Amino acid sequence: MAIILILLICGTVNLVTAQVADFLYPFNHLSSQLRIVGGQDASAKQFPFQTGLYISYQLKSAFCGGSLISENYVLTAAHCLEGALSINVVLGALNISDESEPGRQSQTTTSYTIHPQWDSSYYKNDVGVVRLSSPAILNEYVQKITVASGVDTYANQQGTVIGWGKTYDDQQTLTDILQYVSNKIYREGNKGFCQGDSGGPLISNGVQVGIVSFSYKSCQVSMPSVFARVSEFSEWIKDNTDIV
């Protein structure tokens, strides 16, 4: 009897695990900000499109990543923008804690658009754009990135995720220096992202192919990292920004 019970419990657990793996259900909403694990320090000007977003909501604040896609727009995740009251946009940063570093541009905006089919229950269409209050000044520290379009899934290609998120589970603050990690797309191992990297870019061959959407609750275990596929949203992005 005891053995049967254990088997049943194991069977149930396996079923749940299989569902999670098959459908990539997001974990609970509170842990939906993501960060890079096992990455390395970026150097100044290496990822000039990388953007930091300090976002204020009614009862809390959060940090998300983003990417500059035109002088006037930053691409990020819908779940970062939902309920946002104001957004402090930081461009050209390497050490996110160093407000006086060369090349940095910072401004505050309240203007953004979330994908109308954003579904917070299933993390579908996790895409949004932030409109800058004044145009970014493009230079060696601040550049825009091209967003992917077309039908390429980028499966099995090398991708690079970039962000300032925490680098291990118990870390309380962001990592000062921008981190990046390269991995095969859709085949993430121990390296990935965790809290703080949400909304940041996944790039491949100099083009943005993904937006950091969600991962699993623990940052240190081997679990898939999930990105919104930018090419599927290229028309929406064009319609809602000034990129052509």
Chain positions 135 to 194 lying near ligand NAG, rule: CB under 6 A, are: 176-177
Half-sphere exposure of 158 (CA within 13 A, CB side): 5
Half-sphere exposure of 230 (CA within 13 A, CB side): 27
| Phi, psi for 31 (deg, rounded to 5) | -100, 25
* Interface with ligand NAG: number of residues (CB under 6 A): 5
Query: For ligand NAG, which residue has the nearest CB?
Result: 98
Please give the Cα distance from 195 to 174 (Å, whole number): 9
3-state secondary structure of 222: coil
- Residues contacting residue 85 through CB under 8 Å, at least 6 positions apart: 56, 57, 58, 110
Contact pattern from residue 17 through residue 36 relative to ligand NAG, giving x for each residue in contact according to CB under 6 A and a dash for the rest: --------------------
Region from 7-15, 93-101, 110-118, 141-149 binding ligand NAG, contact rule CB under 6 A: 93-101
CA distances from 18 to 119, 122, 214, 227 (A): 22, 17, 18, 20
Region from 63-71, 73-81, 90-98, 166-174 binding ligand NAG, contact rule CB under 6 A: 90-98
Residues 81 and 51: beta-carbon distance below 8 Å: no
Catalytic residue annotation? 79, 126, 198
One of 17, 97, 218, 222 touching ligand NAG (CB under 6 A): 97
**Looking at beta carbons only, is 112 or 180 nearer to ligand NAG?**
180
**Looking at beta carbons only, is 82 or 176 nearer to ligand NAG?**
176
What is the end-to-end Cα distance of the chain in Å, rounded?
Answer: 66
- Residues contacting residue 121 through CB under 8 Å, at least 6 positions apart: none
**Looking at beta carbons only, is 159 or 163 nearer to ligand NAG?**
163
Region from 22-30, 42-50, 95-103, 111-119 binding ligand NAG, contact rule CB under 6 A: 95-103
Region from 92-100, 151-159, 207-215, 231-239 binding ligand NAG, contact rule CB under 6 A: 92-100
Q: Is 95 in the site for ligand NAG (CB under 6 A)?
A: yes
- Residues in the site for ligand NAG, rule: CB under 6 A? 95, 97-98, 176-177
